[in-house]
């Protein structure tokens, strides 16, 4: 998170929001926001939100799959991602992450699926 300047800014009951700067750290060679940086923001928000929906003394959330569609290029400023729960089950969670530019235009939409596992399974 620190290397890319990702910050968690708001937390709701079934959502989480964060920002990431679009600058030299997050650019691809053509000066646009790198798709991998968008996915890093999406995974950070989705994974963090998943953990907040669990009892950390009993469970952990680990990633199973993530996908992303990049629909608008961004050259500078800040993008904001919002992770919202689509499914909160016993063994899996599915989160949608919408990343928008400073004009609230869609930049990327991502979906992450998380496995819910007992804490002792992850700790081994």
Sign of the Cα pseudo-torsion (120, 115, 45, 82, in order)? negative
- Return the bridge partners of 99, or none: 81, 108
Active site residue 43: yes
Question: Which DSSP string corresponds to 84-107?
Answer: EEEEE-SSEEEEEEEEE-TT--EE
Nearest Cα residue to 83 out of 51, 55, 33, 47: 47
Of residues 43, 65, 96, 102, which has the active-site annotation?
A: 43
Which value, to the nearest 10 degrees, does the dihedral of the CA atoms of residues 76, 26, 74, 66 take? -150
Active-site residues: which are they? 43
């Amino acid at each position: 998170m620190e290397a890319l300047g990702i910050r968690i800014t708001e937390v709701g009951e079934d959502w989480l929001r964060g920002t990431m700067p679009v600058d030299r750290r997050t650019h691809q060679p053509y000066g646009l926001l790198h798709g991998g940086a968008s996915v890093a923001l999406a995974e950070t928000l989705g994974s963090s939100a998943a953990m907040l929906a669990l009892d950390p003394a009993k469970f952990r959330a680990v990633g199973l799959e993530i996908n992303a569609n990049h629909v608008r290029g961004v050259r500078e400023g800040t993008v904001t991602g919002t992770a919202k729960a689509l499914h909160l089950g016993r063994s899996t969670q599915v989160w949608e992450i919408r990343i928008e530019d400073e004009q609230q235009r869609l930049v990327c939409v991502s979906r992450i699926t998380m496995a819910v596992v007992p804490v002792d399974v992850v700790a081994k």
